[in-house]
């Protein structure tokens, strides 16, 4: 599954860059500087609005974090008007926000779902001063470490819909 996820992410990155080029006239704002990952997650939870991808994820792309930021500064309804602002968009926004925090080392992970349903989940994990955590559409979560098997087990346990995450594939920032 790891190679399938890598291939899917490679294609999704190219489509996302094309989509971003097409949308180059849309408003953009820099992601603000936050004092901590928790503060960044609280901001994201207060300002963003989850919008599922068209066709249940079969048509999926990354929204540039600066476009998402501009929409969040406008209002929650502006975010709702951007199609497909879902897990990977929240994670890439968090990635950019966490990169700006001195000493914070974020990375993106695509969690591979082996339940037989279509789709995977993207999260942003980080290390900072010997502590670990993650940000996704459910907010901030402290982690004991960044062990991929434990991350998959935790996110599987958070869902009661039959999702089974079995791989955490490192995912390149698409922009």
Q: What is the mean pLDDT of residues 144-168?
A: 93
Residue 90 belongs to domain spanning: 2-171
DSSP string, 3-40: HHHHHHHHHHHHHHHHHHHHTTTS---PPPP-SSHHHH
| Block residue for tokens 């791989």 | 167
Question: What average pLDDT is seen over the chain?
Answer: 91
Residue pair 135/94 in contact (Cβ under 8 Å)? The answer is yes
Tens digit of each residue's pLDDT (9 = 90 or more) over 97-145: 999 999 999 999 999 998 877 678 999 999 999 999 999 999 999 999 9
CA distance 162 to 175: 32
pLDDT at 1: 76
Q: What is the pTM of this model?
A: 0.92
CA distance 142 to 25: 37
pLDDT beyond 80 at 96: yes
Q: Please give the tally of structural domains in the chain.
A: 1
């Amino acid at each position: 599954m790891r190679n399938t996820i890598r291939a899917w992410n490679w294609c999704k990155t190219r489509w996302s860059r094309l989509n971003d080029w097409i949308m180059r006239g849309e408003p953009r704002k820099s992601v603000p500087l936050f004092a901590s990952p928790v503060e960044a997650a609280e901001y994201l939870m207060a300002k963003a609005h989850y919008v599922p991808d068209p066709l249940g994820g079969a048509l999926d792309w990354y929204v540039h974090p600066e476009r998402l930021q501009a929409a969040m500064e406008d209002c929650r309804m502006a975010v709702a008007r951007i199609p497909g602002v879902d897990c990977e968009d929240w994670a890439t926004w968090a990635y950019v926000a966490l990169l700006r925090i001195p000493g914070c080392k974020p990375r993106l992970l695509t969690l591979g779902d082996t339940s037989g349903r279509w789709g995977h989940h993207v999260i942003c994990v980080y290390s900072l001063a010997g502590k670990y955590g993650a940000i996704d559409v459910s907010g901030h979560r402290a982690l004991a470490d960044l062990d991929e098997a434990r991350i998959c087990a935790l996110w599987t346990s958070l869902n009661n819909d039959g999702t089974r995450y079995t791989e955490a594939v490192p995912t390149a920032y698409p922009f």
